[in-house]
Amino acid sequence: MSDEGYEMQYIQEAFDTNWIAPLGKNVDEFESELADKVGSKAAAALSSGTAAIHMALKAAGVGKGDLVFCPTLTFSATANPIIYQNAIPVFIDSDYETWNMSPEALEKAFEKYSPKAVIVVHLYGLSADMDRIIQICNKHSVPLIEDAAESLGTYYKEKHTGTFGDYGVFSFNGNKIITTSGGGMLVSDNEERIAKVRFWATQSRDPARHYQHSELGFNYRMSNIVAGIGRGQLKVLDQRVKKKKYIFEFYKRELGGLDGVEFMPINEWNEPNYWLSCMTLSGKVKPLDIMEALEIENVESRPIWKPMHMQPFFEKYDYIGGDVAEKLFESGICLPSDTKMNDEDLGRIVEIVKGLWR
C-alpha cells in the first residue's frame, strides 16, 4: 500500500461506526500502538505536543512560582507551557557533542536553584546525553520531562527517546516526521498519572451523570478522526526514518568536505531519526547565503532554533551556560529534508549549495 494508504481506512472506519466526535476506537488504538512502538506503559493522545508538555508539567506537580529547567536551544513550544502553569523557566545551554542540554550547565544550574522539574529536548532527532542527565536529575530527585516532539523514531542506546524520563512528549504537527495535521502524545510508565491527564484533558469531568467538575479542566483531547490519521502514519514511521537517513547521508557525502562545513553530531550511542539534516558553517559562506541561494530556486531551508534566552519574551529569565547555543544558532542551517525528495531534487540542492564555494 502507498505511503498515504492506511489513513483513509481508519478514518472510514470512524465514520462507519459513528465515532466521528471525540474519542473512540482510533484514539484508544493509537495510544496503545504508539506506546508499544516506543516501549512505554501508557499514553494519552492530545491535541498537540504543546498540550502534552503542559499536561506533563501539571502531572509533575509544577505550579505557581516553581522553577523549571529548560534547554535554551529549542522551539518556544517547549518553554511556553512553563508560563501557562505560572512557573518560572531557567534556561540551560547546549553542548557541541549533542547540540542538546549540556550536563555541565545543568549541574551548574542545580548549584544555584532547586527546580520542580527538568525538561530535556532531543533536537532535530538527535538524542541528548541521557545517562548523565538522568544521573543528575536522580541525584536531586527531580522529575524529568522529555520533549521528544522532534525525535519519534530516535534511539539512545537502543531505548526510544521519550521513555527515559518520568514523562515523554511527541508531536504530530504538520512539519514533524509523521503528522496528523496537528496532535500530540504524552507517554509515561505511570498509568495512574496518564489516566489523570486524560481526565484533565477532557474538561476534568467527574464521573457523574450531570456535568460536575471538581478540578480545572482543559480541552486537550485528540479527536477520533485525527487519531485515525495517526494510526496510518505510525505504519510509515520506519520508512520515513530510512529516507531521512538517506537524505542526511547524501548531503554529508556531497557537502561534508566543503571548507568550514560540519554536520550535526551523530554519537555512537545515538540512532537518530534524522528529522532534519543540519550543519554549521565556520568559513566565509554563511547560513544566510545558503538560505538566499536556495530561496531564489524556490527551495525552503531554515536557521537553527533561536535560543530562548535571546527571545524578547523570555530574556528576563535566568540563563545558565556559555555561548554554545548562540554559536549554533548563528552558524547553523537546516537543509531541505522532505522525504518526498528524490535524488534529482537532492542533486539540484547540492549543486546550488556547492556553487557558493566556487
Ligand X SMILES: *Cc1c(COP(=O)(O)O)cnc(C)c1O
Does residue 346 contact residue 247 with C-beta atoms inside 8 Å?
Answer: yes
Does residue 96 contact residue 324 with C-beta atoms inside 8 Å?
Answer: yes
Please, which contacts does 340-345 make with residues 24 or more away whose CB atoms are closer than 8 Å? 341/247, 343/250
SS3 letters across 137-178: HHHCCCCEEEECCCCCCCEECCEECCCCCCEEEEECECCCCC
Query: Least CB distance from residue 235 to ligand X, whole Å?
Result: 20
Q: Which is nearer to ligand X, 17 or 76 (CB)?
A: 76
- Candidate list 40, 72, 100, 173; residue touching ligand X; CB under 6 A: 173
Which amino acid type is present at position 139? K
Site residue total, ligand X (CB under 6 A): 14
Asked if 150 interacts with ligand X (CB under 6 A), we say: yes
Among the listed ranges 12-20, 71-79, 194-202, 321-329, the one in contact with ligand X (CB under 6 A) is: 71-79
Sites for ligand X among residues 83-122 (CB under 6 A): 121
Q: Which is nearer to ligand X, 88 or 126 (CB)?
A: 126
Query: Least CB distance from residue 169 to ligand X, whole Å?
Result: 7
Asked if 147 interacts with ligand X (CB under 6 A), we say: yes
Query: Least CB distance from residue 148 to ligand X, whole Å?
Result: 8
Q: Of 357, 324, 355, which Cα lies nearest the Cα of 100?
A: 324
Q: Which is nearer to ligand X, 120 or 255 (CB)?
A: 120
Asked if 48 interacts with ligand X (CB under 6 A), we say: yes
Q: Which three cell numbers stand for residue 208?
A: 457523574
- Candidate list 75, 220, 248, 317; residue touching ligand X; CB under 6 A: 75
Asked if 77 interacts with ligand X (CB under 6 A), we say: yes
Sheet containing strand 270-271, edge to edge, reads 159-160, 155-156, 270-271
Asked if 125 interacts with ligand X (CB under 6 A), we say: no
Decide: helix, strand or coil at residue 280.
strand
Neighbours of 283 (CB within 10 A): 11
Query: Least CB distance from residue 296 to ligand X, whole Å?
Result: 27
Asked if 149 interacts with ligand X (CB under 6 A), we say: yes
Does residue 74 contact residue 123 with C-beta atoms inside 8 Å?
Answer: yes
Q: Which is nearer to ligand X, 12 or 76 (CB)?
A: 76
Query: Least CB distance from residue 218 to ligand X, whole Å?
Result: 14
Asked if 78 interacts with ligand X (CB under 6 A), we say: yes
Among the listed ranges 47-55, 186-194, 220-228, 247-255, the one in contact with ligand X (CB under 6 A) is: 47-55
- Candidate list 40, 43, 45, 50; residue touching ligand X; CB under 6 A: 50
Q: Which is nearer to ligand X, 62 or 353 (CB)?
A: 62
Going from the C-alpha of 18 to that of each of 11, 21, 74, 90, 301, the distances in angstroms are 11, 8, 40, 47, 42
Quote the CA–CA distance of 326 and 324 in Å, as a whole number. 5
Give me the residues that bind ligand X (CB under 6 A), please.
Answer: 48-50, 74-75, 77-78, 121, 147, 149-150, 171, 173, 184
